[in-house]
Amino acid sequence: MLTIGILIGLAIAAIRAAMKCFFHVEQGHLAVVTRFGRALRKADGTLQSFAPGLHFKQPWDHVHDVAVKEQSVVLSGEEGSTAMAEDGTILRIDSILRYVPVESQLEHFLFGLKRPMEHVTGVFNCLLRNEIANFRANAGSAPVSQHPADGGSYALLRRERKLLNQRIEEFSRARIGERYGVRFNAVDLTDILPPDELADALNAVIQARSEADAAYARTEGESQQRELAAERGVEIAKARARAVETELDALGGYLAQLDEQGTLDLY
């Protein structure tokens, strides 16, 4: 019985050791293997990566799995970025980074930084703040209005969000590029939010404009009604005058007939 138990234990140990000698890579992923902390490399010295499928390794090797399909990092809410605009307004920016790890730069992505995406996110936030602080619709345009009721930089950024998004995307690709082992597919600015005091000022302006538009519409409607009533009164007065004129003409004709008949004096 003891011998059978030992054999069973050895078989289980052998099965577990054999299982540690193989690893599976899913579709849309790549794997990099490190042996005692050193990454396996090809004959030319480049990092060796393993495509989807089943692969052999030593039991003591460690597998680093990397998803090479498009991924996204959502920077919103508490994780969103705050930036100072040209007029000094502090804005909160919600954005989405869409990126793909680059196979030829996996060494930078895995071993260049301890937390690569946190570092890339921090670099992106710095670029975003710089772009917003110096953003203008045109290179030679005048500085934006400093009055909060006019919306200032906030109104400009909301109006030119497409242009801002394009500049940030180009800037991120040019400055970051594949430096950290990732390629940016897109940068989407999902929302630009003003500070509370600016939002209150804008709401007050919108309400005042709405009330002014409503008062103007009411005044215009009343003026049109009065104009129509005056035109109608003139038409009625003209009709009455024509009726009196017709009556006088008829009366004059009757008197002329009586005068011709010599009977007018009798009347």
Segment 195-252, tens digit of pLDDT? 655 555 555 565 666 777 777 888 888 888 888 888 888 888 888 888 888 888 778 7
What is the percent of the chain where pLDDT is above 70? 79
Which pLDDT belongs to residue 203? 57
Mean pLDDT lowest among 25-29, 170-174, 248-252: 170-174
Q: What is the pLDDT of residue 65?
A: 92
Task: Give the dihedral sign, CA 258/262/265/267.
Answer: negative
Cα–Cα distances (Å) from 39 to 33, 47, 61, 160, 179, in that order, read 6, 7, 10, 47, 19
| Best mean pLDDT range from 6-20, 34-48, 97-111, 232-246 | 34-48
CA dist 1 and 8 (Å) reads 11
Instruction: Give the mean pLDDT of 191-195.
Output: 74
Average pLDDT over residues 84-100: 81
Confidence of residue 35 (pLDDT cuts 50, 70, 90): very high
pLDDT at residue number 213? 75
What's the pTM value of the predicted model, to 2 decimals?
Answer: 0.57
How remote is the C-alpha of 231 from its chain's centroid? 53
Question: Tell me, what's the pLDDT at 13?
Answer: 63
Taking 90 as the threshold, does the pLDDT of residue 141 lie above it?
no
Is a pLDDT exceeding 90 seen at residue 32? Answer: yes
Maximum pairwise Cα distance, the chain: 163
Token pair of 140 as six digits: 């030679």
More confident residue, 242 or 15: 242
Q: What is the pLDDT of residue 33?
A: 94
Q: Helices 116-133 and 161-175, interaxial angle, to 10°?
A: 130
In terms of pLDDT, which residue wins out, 126 or 1?
126
Distance CA 235, CA 233 (A): 5
Distance CA 239, CA 2 (A): 129
> Given this model, what pLDDT does residue 101 score?
86
Q: In this predicted structure, what is the pLDDT of residue 146?
A: 44
Indicate whether 46 pLDDT > 80. yes
Q: Tell me which H or E stretch contains 177.
A: none
Instruction: Pick 115 or 36 by higher pLDDT.
Output: 36
Q: Assign 10 a pLDDT band (cuts: 50, 70, 90).
A: low
**Has residue 184 got a pLDDT over 70?**
yes
pLDDT given for residue 217 in this prediction: 81
